Amino acid sequence: MFRLKSLDHVVLRVTDVERCLEFYETVLGCTVEQARVDIGLYQLRAGDSIIDLADVAGPVGSEGGLAPGATGHNMDHFCVRVEPFDEDQLRRHFASHGVEAGPVLNNWGGDGRGPSLYIKDPEGNGIEVKGPPTIPYNPEVGYVP
């Protein structure tokens, strides 16, 4: 039997590749690991994971149907883990890029309950920015409200 270890990558279908590349590089600090321009796929390193941007006009992105828009998105949100979680520093950083950050919440995630806030990328995809847990996950206890 296998054991699920982690989320390896997420693929976002995008309409404006250049704008999204700039956002993920400058706002979140990702780096382009591979650009497959021939198929419209851009793979960005995000810590131990990958965020793929698939151009909806390219071979990979067009397989997903209609492009994301104001009333239909690729997903609700995905979460990136940051350290440290310094609310003032995060807000200043996001504001310097014209990105509005929501209120700090105390959310449950893969490593437990801790502070997080939400932002949106240029295509409207939600991104939860989560800090270290204040209540670490314990597999013997499970979810902690």
Q: And the tokens for 104? A: 């700090």
Q: Please report the pLDDT score of residue 4 as a whole number.
A: 66
**Could you state, in chain order, the average pLDDT of each consecutive group of 10 residues for the chain (145 residues)?**
77 94 98 95 94 93 77 80 95 97 95 95 92 92 84
Q: And the tokens for 145? A: 């409200």
Q: Please report the pLDDT score of residue 75 as a whole number.
A: 77
Cα distances from 126 to residues 39, 77, 78, 101, in angstroms, run 25, 4, 7, 11
Q: How many CB atoms lie within 10 A of CB 95?
A: 11
Q: Is the peptide bond before 68 cis (omega within 30 degrees of 0)?
A: no
Longest dimension (CA), the chain: 48
Q: Please report the pLDDT score of residue 100 as a whole number.
A: 98
Q: Please report the pLDDT score of residue 66 as a whole number.
A: 74
Domains in the chain (CATH in brackets) are 1-59 (3.10.180.10), 76-137 (3.10.180.10)
Q: Please report the pLDDT score of residue 28 as a whole number.
A: 97
- Cα–Cα dist 141/27, whole Å: 36
pTM, two decimal places: 0.84
